Chains A and B, each alone.
Chain A
Amino acid sequence: MSFVVEKLMGGKKGLTGFIILATLILVIFPVFLDSFRLNLVGKYLTYAFAAVSLVLLWGYGGILSLGQGIFFGLGGYGMAMFLKLEASSPENTTIQSTPGIPDFMDWNQITELPWFWVPFSSFTFTILAILVLPALFAYIIGAAMFKRRVGGVYFAIITQVIAVILTVLIVGQQGLTGGINGITDLRTLNGWDITSDNAKNIFYFVNCFLLLGVIVVSHYILNSKFGRILLAVQDKEDRVRFSGYDVANFKIFAFCFAAMISAIGGAMFTLQVGFMSPSFVGIVPSIEMVIFAAVGGRMSLIGAVYGTLLINFGKTIFSESFPELWLFLIGGLFITVVMLFPNGLAGLWNNHGHRITNRLRFMSKRYSKVAPLAVPRKLDDASE
């Protein structure tokens, strides 16, 4: 039991936070939200994967990746390719000039399935590809950059450029990728209709369990020696290097793991929403993912989930009623968070939340002096 509490949940407080989050997404949302809204929350939760990955990578590792959209997109496209191939079986596509290939290929006068599409007709391969390919891609980028000690700002800019390259490639190669519209009209998963409300609800719960699982694994990793070294690298990279650690390898691992988490989110996005398009790959979604993590608290895995939910709820509500205000609000919020609350919602809770809990304890007559549970890290020194 103590293993579970200490290593997997990040202490008693982490356990409480985890249980509250699990109750919220597994019980409260399904009970109080209608099917449409629940599906929407499901979509937001898929973004939360990327936000959680950024907490690990940016909050703890100090590596700001502006390219999590790349991996989100790779995962999403992997799943979408499988579903699209299933949707374009020869029986379904008899009206095309070449039956058996996705409709957008037929529109672009492609007569044969491109080679990189072929293995995605296997479900096992697709699942493996979703988990392995983004991590492999991240390994190549990470190894090339971190081994040469490229970091910080340059890493951020280069990941951003890679996101642009991928977007331009997807949009430009319409015949191979579906272009700007993305891969749409996905119907079944191994013969099971994924467009029904029932299927969407099931995906919602799969999504929740995967997200909670990812948080548990991330907690474990961050509480291990690896996590402490990662944090040390962020604070004083040279000292860690002088102590005999190969800093690059730690960074590469963090980047690969973050890529894998984001890719799971992307794959779940395709299942939950039913399509994938380049607008979830480029710069804007990638930076939005950073916003989620920043607002939730860059040092808090659970905070990242709340940040994602809050921003997306806000986006939905505001773009329904005051679309012109939304960008002002999100821009302003972002500046405020970065300048005044660098630890986001989680930081606010750690600084002021104990007053609330103290009062609760006082009311239940078990009042005891409670020290602040976590001291927000001073960010001013982190850059050098």
Chain B
Amino acid sequence: MDAYTSSELVSIFAMQGFAGVSLFSVLLLMALGLAIIFGQMGVINMAHGEFMAVGAYTTYFMATLTETYLPTLMPYYFVFAIVVAFFVSGALGYIAEFALIRHLYKRPLDTLLATWGLSLIMQQSFRSLFGAREVSPSLPDWLLGSYQPTDTIDIPLNGMFVLALTAAVTAAVYYLMYRSAWGLCVRATTQNRLMSGAVGINTKKIDRYTFALGCGIAGIAGAAFTTIASTGPTTGTLYIVDTFMVVVFGGAASLFGTIASAFSIAQAQSILEFFISGSMAKVYTLLALVLILMFKPEGLFASKIRR
């Protein structure tokens, strides 16, 4: 450590800290959709990563379209792409729920297998439509480059953008789930399906839209990812385990738990990455999570819902 001056140390700390915050926003964005689908509905959606990939490919598609036909609009397309990604993934999720998931609510382990089958089909569709190579959309200029408060600190703009987007989506999810009439219906259905039906909630419709919402948020996450990494047909599988870990560790059905768990996992991993190799940092983080979950199976913030 002697080699660093104190100002350099501050810079390293700031940048490393931001790397952790950036990872946190990525994990949280990924997990929000699953927290709704798995946490609220109890559906193990193994195709969640693929719904993210749908969002990413939608963004890529929009970028190519804009570049070819409306090059003047390039600076603005990304905002539209996020909205379109939300609706495309959401619509696919709606169809998946209607065709597949709703028949399996009483067999949670079978949902896991069926959605795995779905994820295989989606992966091959990506490969057939967009090719096996990884793609990334050309980003608008305002997402490139970095913000430099001092000479030595370098904070990437795309990371800040994802952070802001995550904050916005989290706030929206909070409002929708906990402050709106619709969210009340969703939570009521989770807690007691029969009684909810008895008081006039159309539980089947609620299921369908909840699942679609979760998938739509996955689509937003996918769109945001295109600013950080490229997208391939198997991108979704890379994220799915991390995403599940965030939700399980946070305690299902707890938005605050999901936020806290994404934050602690991200910080643990990025701090460890500074000392040891990336793969070992991941091993230790996951190992710690498994150990904690063995002692505290209900996660950080237990839900009050009877299992």
Instruction: Determine whether the beta carbon of B120 is less than 8 Å from that of A383.
Output: no
Interfacial residues of chain A within 298-357, with CB under 8 A of chain B in the complex: 324, 326-328, 330-335, 338-339, 342
Instruction: Determine whether the beta carbon of A339 is less than 8 Å from that of B114.
Output: yes
Residue B195 at the A interface, CB < 8 A?
no
- Would you list the 3 A-B pairs with minimal beta carbon distance, nearest first? A172-B279, A334-B117, A331-B120
Instruction: Determine whether the beta carbon of B124 is less than 8 Å from that of A327.
Output: yes
Residue A216 at the B interface, CB < 8 A?
no
- The B interface is mostly helix, strand or loop, or mixed, namely helix
Report the bound CA distance from A157 to B289 in whole Å: 12
Interface size range of chain B in the complex? 35 or more
Instruction: Determine whether the beta carbon of B290 is less than 8 Å from that of A338.
Output: no
Q: How many whole Å from B165's CB to the nearest CB in chain A?
A: 27
Report the bound CA distance from A158 to B297 in whole Å: 10
Q: Which of B23-31, B100-108, B170-178 makes up part of the contact surface? A: B100-108
Q: Which of A20-28, A162-170, A191-199, A362-370 makes up part of the contact surface? A: A162-170
Instruction: Determine whether the beta carbon of A330 is less than 8 Å from that of B120.
Output: yes
Given A283-B237, A338-B104, A380-B107, 6 more A-B residue pairs with CB atoms under 8 Å apart are A154-B297, A156-B112, A335-B100, A338-B113, A339-B103, A380-B106
- The A interface is mostly helix, strand or loop, or mixed, namely helix
A-B contact pairs, 23 of them (CB 8 A): A64-B112, A145-B297, A148-B295, A148-B297, A150-B293, A152-B108, A152-B109, A153-B112, A161-B241, A161-B289, A168-B282, A168-B283, A283-B241, A327-B120, A334-B114, A335-B121, A338-B104, A338-B114, A339-B103, A342-B107, A379-B107, A380-B106, A383-B109
Residue B8 at the A interface, CB < 8 A?
no
Interfacial residues of chain B within 93-141, with CB under 8 A of chain A in the complex: 100, 103-104, 106-110, 112-114, 116-121, 123-124, 127-128
Report the bound CA distance from A273 to B104 in whole Å: 38
Instruction: Determine whether the beta carbon of A327 is less than 8 Å from that of B286.
Output: no
Interface size range of chain A in the complex? 35 or more
Residue B294 at the A interface, CB < 8 A?
yes
Q: How many whole Å from B175's CB to the nearest CB in chain A?
A: 28
What chain A residues lie within 8 Å of B107 (beta carbons)? 342, 379-380, 382-383
Count A/B pairs, Cβ under 8 Å: 124
Contact (A327, B297) CB under 8 Å given A160-B241, A161-B286, A287-B116: no
Q: How many whole Å from A126's CB to the nearest CB in chain B?
A: 25
What chain B residues lie within 8 Å of A56 (beta carbons)? none
Residue A290 at the B interface, CB < 8 A?
yes
Residue A41 at the B interface, CB < 8 A?
no
What chain B residues lie within 8 Å of A160 (beta carbons)? 241, 244
Q: Mark A157-193, 1 if CB is under 8 A from B, else 0.
A: 1101110110011011000000000000000000000
Instruction: Determine whether the beta carbon of B244 is less than 8 Å from that of A157.
Output: yes
Instruction: Determine whether the beta carbon of A331 is less than 8 Å from that of B280.
Output: no
Q: Mark A215-238, 1 if CB is under 8 A from B, else 0.
A: 000000000000000000000000
Q: How many whole Å from A286's CB to the nearest CB in chain B?
A: 11
Of A158, A326, A379, A381, which is in contact with the most chain B CB atoms at under 10 Å from its CB?
Answer: A158
Instruction: Determine whether the beta carbon of B286 is less than 8 Å from that of A324.
Output: no
Report the bound CA distance from A169 to B276 in whole Å: 13
Instruction: Determine whether the beta carbon of A153 is less than 8 Å from that of B277.
Output: no
Report the bound CA distance from A36 to B41 in whole Å: 49
Instruction: Determine whether the beta carbon of A331 is less than 8 Å from that of B118.
Output: yes
Residue A144 at the B interface, CB < 8 A?
yes
Q: How many whole Å from A281's CB to the nearest CB in chain B?
A: 13
Instruction: Determine whether the beta carbon of B114 is less than 8 Å from that of A169.
Output: no
